[in-house]
Structure 1
Amino acid sequence: METLFNDFSLEMTGKDAGKLEEARDTIPPGTRINVTFLENEDGRQRLDAVRAVKRFGYVPVPHISARRLRSHDLLEEYLSALAAEDASDNVLVIAGDPTESLGPFDDSLAVIKSGMLQQYGVRHVGVGGYPEGHPAISESALWSALEGKAATLGQLGLPGVVITQFGFDVDPVLKWLEAVRERGIDLPVRIGVPGPAGVRRLVTMAGRLGVGTSTGIAKKYGFSITNLMGTAGPDKFIRALADGLDPERHGEVKLHFYTFGGLKATSEWIAEFRRGG
């Protein structure tokens, strides 16, 4: 169980920069903290968050949302700003939510192939993974994209990692991990886990992402979709994941926590869970 928590990562939005200080006592030094690239954020907010991550002794992993980039210049401007903060070593490149590109990059692979990442000092690239699929993308397209990104990173000599969307059911996660390895993709994988949050919010987020929330899955996870007033943590999910993982079949696996704005609540939950085993 404890090995699964070694080098876990967290996610925060650009608006969470002010919340990082209150959570710092329970976040281990050197923790990787992803900084989102959302529609309702601007470049200043993202950079302020990146600066806060560095200032408190953590490793910033800025997101780059390919379809939100309206020009090559905007990508270059953001990477240049990150490099100026000595924060361009690690990035996560995703396609982003828009169904159609707002600029020249149709997907994350286009950004990776542009050459600009290496030009501005990127040394490690994260890409997305979807164990339970994506509501707007076919399974075959998801596999083709992941295989293409893994192959391209290998050709460019860029180390990478797959960070998955969060889910509630361990079974599809384990099956997906096994399929990843069977396809020859040997990148480390960080399994997305929702931090402790209100049940209503978890169900709402899951619905937007097409993640299963059937009664059976909710029961496995530890909450009731008929009673949305409580809160839920990922206790059962993580225990089941730890029990089911086989390094020979599933490869290198770590955890990535989606905090939903609750950096302190998530980091405190992790610390308490680790103490309790």
Structure 2
Amino acid sequence: MNPGPTAPTAPVASLLDDFSLEMTGKDVPKLEEAHATIPRGTRINVTFLGNEDLATRLDAARAVRRLGFVPVPHISARRLPSHDDLERFLAALAADGTAENVFVVGGDPARPEGPYEDALAVLRTGLLQRYGVRHVGISGYPEGHPAITERSLWSALTDKHAVLGTERLAGDVITQFGFDVDPVLTWVEAVRSRGVDLPIRIGVPGPAGVRRLLGYAARFGVGTSASIARKYGFSLTNLVGTAGPDRFLHALAHAYDPRRHGDLKVHFYTFGGLRATSEWIARYRTEGRPAAA
């Protein structure tokens, strides 16, 4: 008997073997609520938002570690007011035992709030290694960035990859989320053609309301044409209800060729829905269908 369109397959299961999640500093209660459905050792990224302070970010990283997961605190280069602020953050992470893994990103401000104009500037300080960082995540944009040219994005990616190699830091690339597999895999092939061999974590939206998904998509320049929406599983003319990434994951799994695409994993953007996302993943991994809404 042939499996249905949402039945799990070996490629999908492989992609979900080592997934990662994203949370904000204020999501600690939500993580505590969801932790029983998340495999121990899961990497959980803690964002670096402008409306959250140092204590909030540190508390979140501690909670991730306390609950049995791997904290990956974000460092937002353009949000750092000074060299001392970067060093203070890294020293606090090191003191808590949460500094081994970080994700370094340029950040949202149009103008830097301090001396670091981009993620590369942070990587070049040498401070990460001094405070015990061993693994660094960097960003990737399969559909581009609304404020950065394509040429600059490619230059930044290859330069960061080179610095990680020179500094002997392990790393991976975490992509912005999208709704269409085709541009993602085309971009991955272009990454490999440029000699970047880091594992790539493909950004996937967790299950969320369609209006919410479209709002984030507009903010980050993610394509949402009618054809893309249909492919993903929702309609632009009917924004009621929720959408999950099952079609996206199946399309990714079936088009994924390790010989061309290298090491791919999945990173879930939870949009505050840690429990909904973790339950969706758990149900999908065991039964091949998402948890009921």
Q: TM-score range by the shorter chain?
A: over 0.9
> Structure 2 matches for 1:1-277, cutoff 5 A?
1-277=12-288
Cα distance in 1 between the residues matched to 2:266 and 2:257: 15
Q: Deviations over 1:209-263 (max 9, x none)?
A: 0000010000000011111121000010000000000000000000000000000
Q: Deviations over 1:136-185 (max 9, x none)?
A: 11111100000000011001110110000000000000100001101110
AA at the equivalent of 1:159: A
Cα distance in 2 between the residues matched to 1:221 and 1:158: 36
Q: Which secondary structure does the structure 1 equivalent of 2:146 belong to?
A: coil
The gaps in structure 1 that reach 5 residues or longer are none
Q: Which secondary structure does the structure 2 equivalent of 1:266 belong to?
A: helix
Q: Which secondary structure does the structure 1 equivalent of 2:102 belong to?
A: strand
Cα distance in 1 between the residues matched to 2:53 and 2:224: 32
Q: How many residues are treated as equivalent by the alignment?
A: 277
Cα distance in 2 between the residues matched to 1:127 and 1:223: 30
Q: Quote how far apart the aligned CAs of 1:47 are.
A: 0.9
Q: Which secondary structure does the structure 2 equivalent of 1:92 belong to?
A: strand
Q: TM-score, normalized by length of structure 2? A: 0.94
Q: Quote how far apart the aligned CAs of 1:276 are.
A: 2.2
Q: Which secondary structure does the structure 1 equivalent of 2:65 belong to?
A: helix
AA at the equivalent of 1:205: Y
Q: Which secondary structure does the structure 1 equivalent of 2:115 belong to?
A: coil
Q: Deviations over 1:86-143 (max 9, x none)?
A: 0000000000001111100010000000000001000000000000100111111100
Q: TM-score, normalized by length of structure 1? A: 0.99
Q: Deviations over 1:178-204 (max 9, x none)?
A: 011011100000000000000000000
Cα distance in 2 between the residues matched to 1:236 and 1:276: 15
AA at the equivalent of 2:108: D
Q: Which secondary structure does the structure 1 equivalent of 2:137 belong to?
A: strand
AA at the equivalent of 1:184: G
Q: Deviations over 1:35-62 (max 9, x none)?
A: 0001111111111111110110000000
AA at the equivalent of 2:128: L
AA at the equivalent of 1:45: T
Q: Which secondary structure does the structure 2 equivalent of 1:122 belong to?
A: coil
Cα distance in 2 between the residues matched to 1:225 and 1:263: 25
AA at the equivalent of 2:152: A
Q: Quote how far apart the aligned CAs of 1:29 are.
A: 0.3
